[in-house]
Amino acid sequence: MQGQEVMLLTIHRSDTTIYAMKLNEYLITTSQAKLGSLLNVSQSVVSQWVRGETRITAERAIQIEKVTKGQVSREELRPDLYERNMPVI
C-alpha cells in the first residue's frame, strides 16, 4: 500500500511537469511577468506553473488559451480534464 502511495505522488508530479513544459515553450516568446500581467497573476505564480510546483486550474487553463490566442491550449495544459477540440462553454 505504501509503495502505491509513493507511485501516485510521482505520477502527479510528473503530470504537473508535463503541463508546465508546454507553457515553458510558449514563454520563449514572452516573459513570465508579461504573461502574468495578462492573467492578473504575479510572475512568481507563472514561475510556479513552469517549475511544476503549482497545478494550473481548469479555469486558468482556459484563460491561458485565450490570452495566448491558442498557442498554448487548455488540452496541452490539462489533458486530464480536456479533450482535443472540446468547446469552451
Going from the C-alpha of 50 to that of each of 5, 16, 23, 70, the distances in angstroms are: 25, 9, 7, 18
Q: At 53, is the secondary structure helix, strand, or coil?
A: coil
**Rounded Cα gap, residues 64 and 82, in angstroms:** 14
User: What pTM, to 2 d.p., does this model score?
Assistant: 0.71
Report the range of poorest mean pLDDT among 35-39, 44-48, 62-66, 70-74.
Answer: 70-74
Q: Which residue has the higher pLDDT, 68 or 12?
A: 68
**Rounded Cα gap, residues 4 and 67, in angstroms:** 38
pLDDT, the chain, mean: 79
Task: List, for residues 12-53, the tens digit of each pLDDT value.
Answer: 444 555 555 578 889 999 999 999 999 999 999 999 998 889
Domains of the chain: 2-77 (1.10.260)
